[in-house]
Amino acid sequence: MGVAARHVRSGVGLKVLEAAFDLLRASVRCVEGCDAQRLMRDALAMSEESERLAKALIEFREAEGISTRELARRTALSQATIRLHESDRGAIPVPFAARRFEEVLGWAPGSIPSAEYEPKPADREPPPDASGVNGRAS
């Protein structure tokens, strides 16, 4: 087994790869004049913050003796969201989730960095006016 494969299997390489993918995603969104060094710093900071949140959530659940399901209930978030943020995959929570985590952990508001947006339903065009259609050919 090669050195890279050992690092990926140990999780060390996986974190580096995740940070690199975050950087790549950010650079794709980057506009002219974007600073690559700032992008790298932001990606690493994001990884550190997600690791801090993951550790805090796991420690909280263990101290309370509760399941992922119970933490999801207490935060009004899905179990998948809890698992995502406990797994330390580098995901920054949306503002609503960040606020819920701060409340349950007893952290100060704004102490968890969050994504810049709340997900919104997809913009949809209204259906065509079908008021005169009866399903029969004219």
Per-residue pLDDT of the chain (138 residues; tens, 9 = 90+): 554 454 455 555 666 667 766 766 666 655 545 566 666 666 666 678 888 899 999 999 999 999 999 999 999 999 999 999 998 676 788 999 999 999 999 999 999 988 765 555 554 444 454 444 454 554
Burial 98-129 (b: 16+ CB within 10 A, else e): bbbbbebbeeeeeebbbeeeeeeeeeeeeeee
CATH fold, domain 3-27+35-105, is 434 Repressor (Amino-terminal Domain) (1.10.260)
SS3 call for 4:
helix
Does this model's pTM top 0.85? My answer is no
Q: Break the chain into its structural domains and give their ranges.
A: 3-27+35-105
Query: What is d(CA 62, CA 93) in angstroms, rounded to the nearest whole number?
Result: 21
pLDDT at residue 18, rounded to an integer: 73
Residue 49, Cα to own-chain centre: how many angstroms? 11
Query: What is d(CA 67, CA 73) in angstroms, rounded to the nearest whole number?
Result: 10
